[in-house]
Chain A
Amino acid sequence: MKNAIETHDLTKVYSNNFKAVNSLNLEIPDQTIFGMLGPNGAGKTTTIKMLTCLIQPTSGTATVGGYDVQKNPDEVRNLLGMVPQQVSLYKDLTVMENSQLCADYYGVPHDERDSRIEDLMELVDIKYAKDKVVGQLSGGQKQKASLVASLVHRPDILFLDEPTIGLDPTTKRTLWDLIRELNDSGHTIILCSHDMHEVDMLCDNVGIINTGNLVAYDTPQGLKDALLESNRQEMTEALTQISEENEVSTSTKEDFENLSLRKMSVLLKNQDEGIINQIRLINDVKSIEVARNGRINLRIDAFDDMAVQNVLDKISQSGGIIKSIYTEEPSLEDVFIKSTAEVNEDDRV
């Protein structure tokens, strides 16, 4: 699969000697959804600005759709669409007028312009508001209008910067569906978001940028698996430490527990003491408590793939009927926190 975006040692040093992006090497495959994560000030915005030809890199190269951002900026701009976090349409113009303005600025043929816009409006379901002034639209409507204006020149690559921030859950899910549809129709999508769930749900690949560097890159599941593996290694180290030392500190014990155990919660329809006693007998179950609402909270072995299944089997064998079940999994948020925990600001100045 060819890459929509490639950067090699891409670096940006601002005039105050602040190194915002530091030798970034990144490959974003064509027609995928790529999640760009990173804490505030990590270098995401600067990276996007370089890729969208708003600022020049200090060194290194970046290609978008095969075009060099420094040598062929206009070709790159024609390939890109951008939906910024802050809706940047003219508030006094209607949705239609804003889209027409963008189309003319991108050089869309005049005879195709309005029909393209109408098609896009139908796709994102904003046609009913096409003659409304943008300043009067709701947050979700504005984002949809922004999408139309960004897609009017049929870009191959679409940057979405926090597209669902501040939107209600229903509108958020509508936009997610739309993003998937756009991806299915061949667009490469670069999604910048602090909503880990959103990134987890939508993205094929995720890159985590911290202090101007790419510190993690994989599929969302790959990143979570890597975190589990990393935790397993840390636990092994902790075990070694425990076996070597006579006195183990409380914090080491807590670290060990946090790494080796995960939470599981079960709500039964017909809870009784017998079922709970049966669960206690399972080796993978390290602790058990029954909450006031009847929910059974367990801590089970984090690395035994069969631990959850064993608990469920035992409940079933004891005649318990499960109403709901919840198990704690490593999340993308855990990956993010771990990946961005170590910050070395000295490297950036």
Chain B
Amino acid sequence: MIEFKKFWWMIKKELISLKRHPARLVSIIAFPIIMILLFGYGMGGEMTDLPIVVVSQSHGDLTDLTLDTIKTTETYHVVEVMDSLDEGKQRVDNGEVKAAIILPSDYDKNTSNQKAVTLYLDSSDQMASQILESSTQGIFYRISNMVASQTSVSTKDADIEPSVIHSLDNFKDDIALHINRIYGNIKYIDFLVPAILGMTVMMSCMMGMGATIAGERETGELARLFMTPTSVATVIGGKIAAKLLIELLRALILIFMAVLLFNVSIKGGFLQTFIVLVIGALCFVGFGIMLSARTSTQEDYAQLSLPFSMPMMFVSGVFYPIETMPWILQKLAYVFPLTYLNDAMRGIMLKGQTLGDVWIDLVVLLGFTLLFFIVGVKRFNRDV
């Protein structure tokens, strides 16, 4: 039988500890903020201000238009516009800039030949080079469209063959691609934040249970509790209640910071997001209990939990969609509870689904929770 007075003592103890150690309270608040900043800005933000040089070997209106476009594009930070091709390449080779955009000498000439603009790219920086490549392609696609449009206008003005005008206009107007984003314009950060919330809850729950159970086993505090006429379920229940309270506080801060810092929209509502996080926290607290059931020191616990927490972080679809992973990792992902938490969180936050819509994820999470608690309590021994 679980005794609630003893439960309450564990919660009270945690609260007193926090009150007497304001630094710990700061850590509870700071940890989620750091996590969300680290992953949000570090991994989820857009790359801007990549240093480049422009080698301009031509002069004229088109060159000016191109330079203006490049300079006003956020992706680039134009360090210098120069004439010398060799110097431009040299700057890239030396690693001073990420790329050189080379406008050829015939860039401004009216010629029917294709104008060969070169992007001299430092491809060793895979992320930056991909961004630069797609961004530069986009710019020159737009410029060539603008030129085509101006040409059509000028040819109109010059009263040239209407059929040519028609064909050019038709080419642009006849094929129109309409993109219908059913969940709105989702950026990578939007995709990332729900899973970051889940992952942060996972990490803090698992680390926290190590300190609570294995740590107190190591210092003998748990022994004192186990020498009293108290069931294992009550002792563990008290620990869980205390831990959960802290984690809920952390979850609230996480959601608040995600909205505040990244303007993340929570389409399914705050309450549903919170409920999913609570279920996730309960599941990972259970996981921590199961792992710490037989470990005698915090160090043992850390060694034991690492092989679970690390793969879970990278395989459960936090950073990349599970479908893009090799098949073996895809299979592995579905035995990790974090996968289901992420799925439910994204469903609620991004798609505006309800708890009913993500019921499979929730049932699986609750199933894992039950399993972890049963195994944890059964395996738990009073031997301290």
Contacts and interface: CB of A to CB of B under 8 A. Distances in A.
Interface in B205-257: 219-221, 223-230
A119 interface: no
B223 A84 contact: yes
A105 B381 contact: no
B178 interface: no
A86 B6 contact: no
A328 interface: no
Interface string B347-384: 00000000000000000000000000000000001111
Nearest to B382: A54
A294 interface: no
Given A49-B383, A54-B383, A93-B16, A105 B220 contact: no
A209 to B, nearest CB: 19
Contacts of B229: 73-75, 77-78, 106-107
A92 B24 CA distance: 12
A86 B228 contact: no
A149 interface: yes
Given A90-B13, A97-B16, A104 B5 contact: yes
B181 interface: no
B221 A54 contact: no
A74 B384 CA distance: 17
A101 interface: yes
B25 to A, nearest CB: 13
A258 B230 CA distance: 55
Contacts of A92: 13, 16-17, 20-21
Interface string A104-118: 111100000000000
Contact of B221 (A49, A53, A77, A90): A90
Given A84-B223, A93-B13, A105 B382 contact: no
A74 B383 CA distance: 16
B141 interface: no
Contacts, number: 66
B314 interface: no
Contacts of A49: 383
Given A105-B6, A105-B9, A86 B219 contact: yes
Looking at chain B, what size class is its interface with the partner chain?
20 to 34
A211 interface: no
A52 interface: yes
Contact of B224 (A53, A73, A88, A104): A88
Interface string B101-115: 000000000000000
B300 to A, nearest CB: 16
A214 interface: no
A86 B224 contact: no
Contacts of B220: 84, 86-88
B226 A88 contact: no
Given A49-B383, A92-B17, A101 B9 contact: yes
Nearest to A14: B383
A80 interface: yes
Contact of B227 (A80, A104, A107): A80
A77 B230 CA distance: 9
Nearest to B8: A104
A104 B20 contact: no
Nearest to A101: B9
Interface string A126-138: 0000000100000
Interface in A128-166: 133, 149
Contact of B228 (A87, A89, A106): A106
A88 B227 CA distance: 12
A77 B21 contact: no
Nearest to A54: B382
A80 to B, nearest CB: 7
Contact of A89 (B9, B221, B230): B221
A89 B219 CA distance: 9
Interface in B135-180: none
A107 B234 CA distance: 14
A161 B5 CA distance: 29
Contact of A133 (B20, B219, B226, B227): B20
Contacts of B16: 92-93, 97
Contacts of B227: 52-54, 77, 80, 82
Contacts of A307: none
B224 A89 contact: yes
Interface in A19-34: none
Contacts of A86: 219-220
Max chain B C-beta neighbours (<10 A), residue from A52, A78, A90: A90
Interface in A64-89: 73-75, 77-78, 80, 82, 84, 86-89
Contact of B223 (A54, A104, A105, A107): A54
Contacts of A54: 223, 226-227, 382-384
Given A77-B229, A92-B17, A104 B6 contact: yes
Interface in A161-197: none
A102 interface: yes
Interface in B8-52: 9, 13, 16-17, 20-21
Contacts of A84: 220, 223-224
A55 interface: yes
A35 B220 CA distance: 23
Given A54-B223, A90-B13, A93-B16, A105 B228 contact: yes
23 contacts: A53-B227, A53-B382, A54-B227, A54-B382, A77-B227, A77-B229, A82-B227, A84-B223, A86-B219, A87-B220, A88-B220, A88-B221, A88-B224, A92-B17, A93-B13, A101-B13, A102-B224, A104-B6, A105-B6, A105-B225, A105-B228, A106-B229, A107-B229
Given A54-B223, A55-B382, 16 more contacts: A49-B383, A52-B227, A53-B382, A54-B226, A54-B383, A55-B383, A77-B229, A80-B227, A84-B224, A88-B219, A92-B16, A97-B16, A101-B9, A101-B13, A105-B225, A105-B228
Interface of B: 5-6, 9, 13, 16-17, 20-21, 219-221, 223-230, 381-384
Q: Which 6 A-B pairs have the closest CB atoms?
A: A88-B220, A74-B229, A105-B228, A92-B17, A77-B229, A55-B383
